[in-house]
Structure 1
């Protein structure tokens, strides 16, 4: 402490106060009691899960839906063969199932992440 600075400040607190203490209500109890706030939290989780599901369906629909258009607009692609297997068969049997599997895996992973975030919110972390 330098000679120019004044005395060090001391914080004084008292457990007695006339102010009303805030009632601590957890988010989980809000949800259990089915209050408006709990409904907002649940709706936000459902909305994020719905948005994720619609995104996965849109990606799958656009990629698989584009194949018939590709074969119709560019007939030469439909006549190609890889290792003696027609390309349309290969795309619709192997690639489509691989895409469905990968999209399903990504969906589950992201849905679990959404639920973990929601759970952390409930725990107050």
Structure 2
């Protein structure tokens, strides 16, 4: 029995059995004339070079996640240290609100948004580089 990796549902054009056919080895016209993008990607992932590319993508995405999380935690720690080390800052009020609440509301949420935007942008760039290396268009 051969091992099968399911990566996406097959459509009728991707080489699956047609409705009404016996399903025993019949391919659609598109699959009979050439390889589909899904088959090309699966073949690239199963080759030695393809496995290296996939491992590289996984490592780069993990590294990106760790860097973004560490950067966010450092900024959060810097805000806490700022409040703890500067005397009188915690008692300061801006428009009737405690400064630490204003700092959390106006300082942390933009950092969260910026971190998320940078993560998504860089993750998309990593995946684009992987597709270029793997030969997907």
Q: 1:87 to 1:78 in 2, by over 3 A?
A: same
TM-score by length of 1: 0.68
Contact 2:44 2:134 in 1 (8 A): no
Q: Which residue of 2 aligns with 1:61?
A: 73
Q: Could you tell me how far apart the structure 2 residues matched to 1:100 and 1:43 are?
A: 28
Is the contact between residue 53 and residue 133 of structure 2 (CA under 8 Å) also seen in structure 1?
no
User: Which among 110, 119, 129 is matched to residue 98 of structure 1?
Assistant: 110
Aligned residues: 98
4+ runs of 1 displaced by more than 3 Å? Answer: none
CA contact (8 A) 2:93 2:99 kept: yes
- Extract unaligned runs of 5+ from structure 2: 1-39
2: CA distance, partners of 1:118 / 1:71:
43
RMSD, aligned α-carbons: 2.1
Report the structure number with the largest CA radius of gyration.
1
Deviation at 1:27, TM superposition (A): 7.4
Match of 1:51 among 46, 56, 63: 63
More contact order relative to length (CA 8 Å, sep ≥ 6): 1
- C-alpha deviations, 1:18-64, integer Å up to 9, x for none? xxxxxxxx775231x2x443221111001111111111101110011
- Counterpart CA distance in 2 for 1:59 and 1:77 is 24
Map of 1:30 onto structure 2: 44
Tell me the CA shift for residue 94 of structure 1: 2.3
Which blocks of at least 5 consecutive residues in structure 1 are unaligned?
Answer: 1-25
Distance 1:37 1:121 in 2: 10
